[in-house]
Amino acid sequence: MLAAATLAVIVSGCASSENAPTLRAERRSIGTLGPGFIDPTAPPAPESTIRPKPGSWDGVRPPRGYHVVLLTAGHDSATTTLVRGVKQWAEVEHVTLETVVATEPDRFVDGIVEAMDRRPDLVICAGNTLVDALALVTASHLEQQFLVVGAQLPEPTANVTAAVWRGASSRGREVADTAASFDPATFTRRHVSAAIRAGVASVLHDITGIVIWLD
C-alpha cells in the first residue's frame, strides 16, 4: 500500500488508452531527417554528442498510434515545462501517451520499471532527478528505448538518447551541477519543443545512445 501511495500512475493521451498496451505502432518514422542532422558518411559513435542543424528534424513525425510513456519526477518549474511540452507534442502528433509519476526518490527505480512494464515504443523522461536511477536501470534493459530531455546520463548505453542545451544538461550526482548545466530559466517552451522533436526523430531513425546538443 505504501508503494502504491508513493508511485502515482496517470493514464492519458490522444488515442484511447484502453487498448494502449496491445496496440503497438511500427517504429518507422513518417518523413526523413533533413541535411545537417548528422553526417550520413560518418554516423555518430556511441556516447558521442551531435549538434544538428536547427530544424533538420522538422520533417519527421512518429507513426500514428506511436506509444509513449512519459516518466516524470518533481514539480519544479523546469520539470513542469517539460511535462507540458511532452503532452502538447503527443496531442499534436496523435501519440498514445501514458504518464508515470514517481513521487519519492526511493521509488524512482520502481517508476522506471512501471514505465517499461507498459511496453511502450519509447519512454520519455522529464526531471533531472531521475538521472541516477536511469543510469542504474537502463543498461540492463537494452530492448527498451529511452529519451531523456533536459538532462543526460554520464555513460549512456545504446538505448538511451538525450536531448540537451546550455542550462539543461545535468548528469546526476556523479557530476555536480553548475549554472551552465542546470538553469531552470533556460527551460523555455521553444527549447523543450525542439528537444522533444529532435530526440524522437533521432530515435525513430535508430540514431540512439548519443547526446543531441541544441543551440
**HEC sequence for 60-119:** CECCCCCEEEEEECCCCHHHHHHHHHHHHHHHHHCCEEEEEEECCHHHHHHHHHHHHHCC
Letter string b/e over residues 75-113, b meaning 16 or more CB atoms within 10 A of that residue's CB:
eeebbbbbbebbbebbeebbbbbbbbbbeeeebbbbbbe
Give the three cell numbers for residue 82: 517539460
Alpha-carbon gap, residue 21 to 117, rounded angstroms: 9
Q: At what angle do helices 189-204 and 77-93 cross, to 10 degrees?
A: 50
User: pLDDT-derived band of residue 26, with 50, 70 and 90 as boundaries?
Assistant: low
CATH of the domain at 165: 3.40.50.2300
Tell me whether residue 76 is in a domain.
yes
Domain span holding position 52: 2-16+28-214
Tell me whether residue 183 is in a domain.
yes
Tell me whether residue 9 is in a domain.
yes
What are the CA-CA distances from residue 50 to residues 8, 21, 78 (Å)?
35, 33, 23
Pick the more confident residue, 74 or 25: 74
Tell me whether residue 21 is in a domain.
no
Tell me whether residue 22 is in a domain.
no
Alpha-carbon gap, residue 124 to 196, rounded angstroms: 9
User: pLDDT-derived band of residue 27, with 50, 70 and 90 as boundaries?
Assistant: low
Give the three cell numbers for residue 32: 526523413
Given a cut of 60, is residue 103 above it in pLDDT?
Answer: yes
Tell me whether residue 48 is in a domain.
yes
pLDDT digits (tens, 9 = 90+) for 31-90: 999 999 999 899 999 999 999 999 999 999 999 889 999 999 999 999 999 999 999 999
For the chain, the domain total comes to 1
Tell me whether residue 190 is in a domain.
yes
Tell me whether residue 23 is in a domain.
no
Q: If you average pLDDT over every residue of the chain, what do you get?
A: 89
Alpha-carbon gap, residue 184 to 196, rounded angstroms: 17
